[in-house]
Amino acid sequence: VRGEEAVSAQQAEKSSMPRRYQLFIGGQWVDAESGKTFNSINPATGEVLAEVAEADKADIDKAVEAARRAFEGRWSKVSARDRGRLLYKLAQLIDARAKELAALETADNGKPIRESLYVDLPEVVEHFEYFAGMATKIEGETIPVPGRLFNYTVREPVGVCGAIIPWNYPLVMAAWKLAPALAAGNTVVLKPAEQTPVTALELGRLIQEAGFPDGVVNIVPGFGETAGAALASHPGIDKIAFTGSTEVGKKIARAAAENLTKVSLELGGKSPNIIFADADLEQAVNGALMGIFFNQGQVCTAGSRIFVDERIKDDFLAQFRERAERIRLGDPMDKQTQMGPQVSEEQLKKVKYYVHLAHEEGATLVTGGEQPQLEGALARGYFFRPTIFADVKNEMRVAQEEIFGPVAAVITFKDEEELIEQANRTIYGLSAGVWTRDIVRAHRLAREIRAGVVWINTYNIFNAASPFGGYKQSGYGREMGKHAIELYTQVKSVWIDLSGRPL
Ligand code: NAD
């Protein structure tokens, strides 16, 4: 991201004026067939940020048709090198407008500007750059078959891909889907989350400006049960890529099964963040904070079950509490702010429900558990204080169900064997953290934990080159790195007789 200064007051002001957006289909900006619109809300104030055309089945049909025409038409003639160049151009355009996009992301989602500007936007740019380079490296194989035969494989694009994404990282999630799909030569119909459609639509403008042929990318905001369901069950798509809750992921898989559409799913988690007595405690406290309070706790990999060796429980809790209480909560546009509001009123209600449940289940509130008192417009925002519960048992619902908010469940353990059993006792398997100075134990844990990512003495680290995805009910398929190309290509095996003789 260029420039180190924070977003100017003018940019913040501009991003808080109501905006209007249409659907992006076949290279055109169009109203929904129904003429319907919906509002996207700024969660810091409850005010309307944008009025957005609402896609429904008829619009999804149009978008899928446009994507099909593009796939069978001009896009199939574009060389891998030129696909890479288009993606690289897009990365540059995003980079050039990073501040504006970050301000919009913050206004739509509520995440602190220091995160959208210095974490989300750089990750988006990196993603498009990485897959720009990947476009020319998608290769087949030659197979050593016996006899006078020649057998080779080619990797071809899957075709028209549907992509349904959540609200917690609106632009990052769009990048995770679009970059590998386009690098591999597919076309895409993208449905952003109804809570946060704005930056995906801004991305549509940049896709146009970069010069992608019409219909290669179509962006159709709308609600899950209408637009989302119409896309997932559409017989005209060849693949559906979904990131969101496990509950909806199951619906997607069911809908896709009807047409045997290929599916990849990145779903929920209830990840263990494990702190051994020999860990560097200050570092582990940082990791625990980062694990559960980053992005207001709305992270699929949130370290929401914190397992602490009972010998260091008191020290850990004292430091964890002190640091959690120092988190600066407030206007997400202020560059000093470390925590913004929850994304929506519904999400705030869900967090409150789980806090109530934790009390009922017998957990001990250490800090938080309520909304902060904020002044002015922010008083109507969906803020919630960083919350820690101790004396949690792994069987409690608060330790088993994904809250997707700033609520840490601290569970103590006595020995490693019992710990591993408990850490794995969950329907999820997205990620895990391990804090220890014992290298042998670190690798042993990495092997024993059933999760798609294990972080040792760190947490929430991602890179476009490193595969990401879940075990168990956290989903299937791996995004990022070379693995993402497998999701967006299919293998064709070609045989040639070299003998020239009849069979
Ligand atoms: P969600 O499942 O409610 O919604 C995700 C998307 O699915 C939205 O675009 C929504 O409109 C759409 N949708 C909802 N119902 C649908 C239906 N019946 N058919 C088709 N589409 C439908 O999830 P959310 O609340 O937006 O996001 C939070 C969830 O996402 C959490 O569970 C979180 O763990 C998960 N998540 C996972 C990852 C990951 O990579 N594993 C990353 C981010 C978020």
DSSP 275-299: E-TTS-HHHHHHHHHHHHHGGGG--
Residue 420, classified by CB atoms within 10 Å of its CB into exposed (0-12), middle (13-18) or buried (19+), is buried
Closest ligand 1 atom, residue 430 Cα: 41
| pLDDT for 159 beyond 90 | yes
Residue 17 pLDDT = 60
For 392-437, what is each residue's pLDDT tens digit? Answer: 999 999 999 999 999 999 999 999 999 999 999 999 999 999 999 9
CA of 146 to the centre of ligand 1 (A): 48
Task: State the amino acid at position 169 in one-letter form.
Answer: Y
Q: Averaged over 30-57, what is the pLDDT?
A: 97
Q: ipTM score of the complex?
A: 0.93
Q: Which residue do the tokens 């990485």 mark? A: 130
Segment holding 179, helix H or strand E: helix 170-183
- 161 assigned to active site: no
CA of 258 to the centre of ligand 1 (A): 20
Q: Which residues form ligand 1's pocket by a CB distance below 6 Å?
A: 164-168, 191, 193-194, 223-225, 228-229, 232, 243-245, 248, 251-252, 266-269, 300, 402, 404, 430, 470, 475
Asked about 300 being catalytic, the answer comes back as: yes
| pLDDT one-digit tens code per residue, 215-269 | 999 999 999 999 999 999 999 999 999 999 999 999 999 999 999 999 999 999 9
Burial 227-265 (b: 16+ CB within 10 A, else e): bbbbbbbbebbbbbbbbbbbebbebbbebbeeeebbbbb
Are the C-beta atoms of 107 and 334 separated by less than 8 Å? no
Which pLDDT belongs to residue 178? 98
* Degrees, nearest 5: CA angle 326-331-337: 40
Active-site entry in 105, 194, 266, 479:
266
The 3-class SS string of 139-176 reads CCCEECCCCCEEEEEEEEECCEEEEECCCCCHHHHHHH
Q: How far is the CA of 264 from the centre of ligand 1 (A)?
A: 13
How high is the pLDDT of residue 14?
57
For residues 467 and 130, give the distance between their C-alpha atoms in angstroms, rounded to a whole number.
Answer: 13
347 and 298 Cβ atoms separated by less than 8 Å: yes
Pick the atom of ligand 1 nearest to 470's CA: 41
Amino acid at the residue 437: R
